[in-house]
Structure 1
Amino acid sequence: MGIGLGIVLLVIGLILALGAVDLPASIDDAVASETIGWILVIVGALAIVLALVMNAQRSRTTHVVDDRRPPPPA
Structure 2
Amino acid sequence: MSIGAGIALFVIGAILAFAVNLPNEYVSLSMIGYIMMGAGVVVFLIGIVLLARRRQTDTVTRTESAGGAQVTRSSTRSSNDDLV
So what's the TM-score if we normalise by structure 1? Answer: 0.69
Structure number with the bigger relative contact order (C-alpha 8 A, sep ≥ 6) is: 1
Name the CA distance, whole Å, in 2 between partners of 1:64 and 1:33.
48
Percent identity for Structure 1 against Structure 2 = 38
Q: What are the within-5 Å matches in structure 2 for residues 1-74 of structure 1?
A: 2-18=2-18, 20-23=19-22, 25=23, 28-57=24-53, 60-63=54-57, 66=73
Give the number of equivalent residue pairs: 61
RMSD: 2.0
Quick check: 2:9–2:40 contact (8 Å CA) kept in 1? yes
Stretches of structure 2 that go unaligned for 5 or more consecutive residues are 60-72, 75-84
So what's the TM-score if we normalise by structure 2? Answer: 0.61
The structure where helix makes up a greater share of residues is 1
Stretches of structure 1 that go unaligned for 5 or more consecutive residues are 68-74
List structure 1 runs of 4+ shifted beyond 6 angstroms.
none
